[in-house]
Amino acid sequence: MTLQPQLSETTAYLRQQGFENSVAGIVLGTGLGELVRLIDIKKSIPYGNIPHFPESTVETHKGQLIYGFIGKTPVIAMQGRFHYYEGYTMQQITFPIRIMKAFGVQHLLLSNAAGSMNTAYKKGDLVLLNDHINLQPENPLRGPHDPAFGPRFPDMSRPYSPTLGEKLKAAAIQHNKPLHEGVYAAVMGPNLETRAEYRFLRMIGADLVGMSTVPEVIVANQAGLPCAAVSVVTDECDPDHLEPVSIAEIIAVAGKADKVLSGIFASVIENLT
């Protein structure tokens, strides 16, 4: 079944509600919502009110689609995302990225909370993703192919835009916040990993592990939408010194790093026009 009728209906609804073409798209991850305070919001709609949108079932995700401005740059922002572990299909998870593309978005910035197997990273550190390893059991491009969405076999040799990455690194310097670079492994979740799993992930070349972002990046690459992603390190996952961690702790660490990450994102976005 093609997604085009659903996309057309959702796009028409959002335009009726006041959404307009935008330059930047934003996806805010777990515990990361401070950037919303920096948006001059023109319209905010709960996901449950939008045709064909899933509803976020994660308590820490606000669940709103926002249209507004950062500086003079029009943006569409997801305040909370969807995850495979919530029971949604990969097509549902990535539906908002296709909506952003339909609204003319030219740059996509994503954030997430992640565990770190790289012992050089500490809680609260920011890591710019320069590559990923997809260990999730599904792919958002699986199924009937619609050429309108882009190539059937999109190239993933550089899934993250070097140009956006350089802009983020420059903004991080301005905000006096070190920005590491690393590889993100996407897993299904929702449980956290075992010691053996952390060893495996480290062995195959991952610095970070999380349960999101990669499906959205795959669809963005198919659509020809340059993207960049930054992880907040919320727990240190050294398998030889592993301590139990609660989701409440993860949220608290993400919240502390949120303000500076939001400032970095805003600095980049306001200079995109």
- Whole-angstrom CA distances from 73 to 123, 232, 246 are 32, 25, 37
Adjacent-strand bridge partners of 227 = 108
For the chain, list residues with pLDDT below 50: none
pTM: 0.95
Residue 58 pLDDT: 62
Neighbours of 82 (CB within 10 A): 29
What's CA 185's distance to the chain center, in Å? Answer: 13
By CB neighbour count within 10 A (0-12 exposed, 13-18 middle, 19+ buried), where does 127 fall?
A: buried
- Please report the domains of the chain, with CATH numbers, ordered by start residue: 4-269 (3.40.50.1580)
Contact 262, 171 (CB under 8 A): no
Residue 2 pLDDT: 73
Residue 57 pLDDT: 67
Residue 251 pLDDT: 86
Alpha-carbon dihedral of residues 264, 104, 1, 82, nearest 10 degrees? 20
Residue 59 pLDDT: 59
